[in-house]
Amino acid sequence: GAVVSQHPSWVICKSGTSVKIECRSLDFQATTMFWYRQFPKQSLMLMATSNEGSKATYEQGVEKDKFLINHASLTLSTLTVTSAHPEDSSFYICSARDPSGRAPYEQYFGPGTRLTVT
């Protein structure tokens, strides 16, 4: 149980275009999802907290208009990188809480999405 998927696992896009990354909780309803960014051999940096049916809460320094987060259902959150540039190339990871699960304080992580902007 508590499986989180991400799609796509790897994406290449041209500079100036937008790309959408999906995060799904497969066997539970996730009222809260989190989006992280990770550079090689570095830690995970929290970008935003996404609550179903409400606006995302962004961490300081994260551009809301550039990284659009939508949590329209209890099993799906999306991250859209708008007008992507090479510096947005990174590994993006989502996680989700299962509030009704055995350990509601835990986060379950997706496998990540590698974004390359050319």
Partner 1 sequence: AQTVTQSQPEMSVQEAETVTLSCTYDTSENNYYLFWYKQPPSRQMILVIRQEAYKQQNATENRFSVNFQKAAKSFSLKISDSQLGDTAMYFCAFRRGGTSYGKLTFGQGTILTVHP
Residue 18 CA to residue 49 CA, distance in Å, equals 21
Q: Is 91 in the site for partner 1 (CB under 8 A)?
A: yes
Q: Is 111 in the site for partner 1 (CB under 8 A)?
A: yes
Tokens of 80: 């859209």
Q: How far is the CB of 34 from partner 1 (least distance, A)?
A: 6
Do 42 and 27 contact (CB within 8 A), yes or no?
no
Residue 60 CA to residue 108 CA, distance in Å, equals 23
Q: Is 26 in the site for partner 1 (CB under 8 A)?
A: no
The residues of the shown chain that bind partner 1, judged by CB under 8 A, are 31-32, 34, 38, 41-44, 46, 49, 51, 91, 93, 95, 97, 99, 103, 105-107, 109, 111-112
